Amino acid sequence: MVVNVLADTSSWGHWIVLIPAFVVGGGLVLGVLILLGRAFADSVRSAEHPRWIVGGLVALAGAIVLLTYLGVELPRE
């Protein structure tokens, strides 16, 4: 919805006003991802069996890819 509004506006004024918001929003998202990544890495390092954690994440990612490839959809309410 936001992309359609931005694509329809041909005025550069809208873009100039919105670019700082995109930069700040992107920086906030990146900062949160870095913080969560470092916390996850620290918890994996301090775990007794870090291979189980990494193996579980790989298995979860593989299951998501396989189910997506097979076209399985979750029921919608």
77 is a domain residue: no
pLDDT score for 9: 54
* DSSP-derived 3-state class of residue 13: helix
22 is a domain residue: yes
**Range list of β-strands (E), the chain:** none
Q: Quote the number of domains for the chain.
A: 1
CB 6 within 8 A of CB 14: yes
Note down the domain range covering 33.
Answer: 2-70
62 is a domain residue: yes
pTM passes above 0.85: no
14 is a domain residue: yes
d(CA 9, CA 4): 9
pLDDT in tens, the chain (77 residues): 666 665 665 677 777 888 999 999 999 999 999 999 999 999 999 999 989 999 999 999 999 999 999 999 888 88
pLDDT score for 12: 76
Alpha-carbon radius of gyration of the chain: 20
